[in-house]
Amino acid sequence: MGGLGWGALVNEDTPLEPRPAQRDPYSFTKLRQELLFHEYARERGFELVVLRPGVIYGPGGGHISARVGLNLFGLFLHLGRGNRLPITYVENCAAAIVVAGLAPDSAGKVFNVHDDDLPTCRQYLRQYKRQVRKMRSIPVPYPMLMLLSRAVAWYHRRSRGQLPAIFTPYKTASTWGGNRFDNSRLKAAGWRQTVPTQEALARTFAAFRAAL
């Protein structure tokens, strides 16, 4: 999704990552998995339904997605800022799997899975600080992040990999490029969000706070 441009709408028809290796190993692995399943489905003739969850969250899960920001040297860099965070609460995601798997004519279809009423990364981080724990964070504007990414990528090449390519222009555009997200195909199949976003966030943050 690195070539979509700022604020592009992401749905099931959005082209897959053209250069996943330039993003991160996780993205490369997920894309390769999906392509392999499509290949096997064509060769062996079984029905395939593909679900692409966003950031799955809930009690026991990770606290803060990289889409919100990264903790480097004890300081949290708030990179997502006003971007929408495509989260799906674990119960809502489980329900989506059932609905998509049982929906008529679902074979061969792809479903993006995320909840309604998506918070921004800024809203998520603010609520996390208020309900879980206080932490220092520095907001990094997108133009500054892109400039930093170009510098890191340049030095990564110049140093022949001595400096890890933590940021690259492609990864920055893919992850923090202000994308919007659409789940209308999943809703057309019959899925409805059973746990509202604010209730899901409250449950999750309460569990995080209790575990600290």
* Domain containing residue 117: CATH number: 3.40.50.720
Q: Is residue 202 part of a domain?
A: yes
Tokens for 166?
């933590």
Give the pairing type, strands 75-78 and 69-72. Answer: antiparallel
pLDDT of residue 1: 53
Task: Tell me which residue of 64, 87, 86 sits closest to 77, measured CA to CA.
Answer: 64
The list of the chain residues with pLDDT below 70 reads 1-3, 21
pLDDT of residue 43: 93
C-alpha 183/C-alpha 30 separation (Å) is 19
pLDDT of residue 16: 83
Q: Is residue 212 part of a domain?
A: no
Contact between 114 and 57 (Cβ < 8 Å): no
Task: Tell me which residue of 174, 163, 192 sits closest to 22, measured CA to CA.
Answer: 174
pTM confidence score: 0.91
pLDDT of residue 110: 96
Task: Tell me which residue of 121, 120, 89 sits closest to 191, measured CA to CA.
Answer: 89
The residues with which 71 forms a beta bridge, in sequence order, are 76
Domain of residue 107: give its range.
Answer: 9-206
List pLDDT tens digits, range 26-68. 888 888 999 999 999 999 999 999 999 999 999 999 999 999 9
Q: Is residue 1 part of a domain?
A: no
Tokens for 60?
């026991």
Contact between 174 and 2 (Cβ < 8 Å): yes
pLDDT of residue 60: 96
pLDDT of residue 167: 83
Q: Is residue 211 part of a domain?
A: no
- 170 burial via Cβ count (<10 Å: 0-12, 13-18, 19+): buried
pLDDT of residue 166: 79
- Count of domains in the chain? 1
Task: Tell me which residue of 70, 71, 67 sits closest to 80, measured CA to CA.
Answer: 67
Q: Is residue 58 part of a domain?
A: yes
Identity (one letter) of the amino acid at 190?
G
Q: Is residue 3 part of a domain?
A: no
Contact between 173 and 143 (Cβ < 8 Å): no
pLDDT of residue 164: 77
pLDDT of residue 3: 63
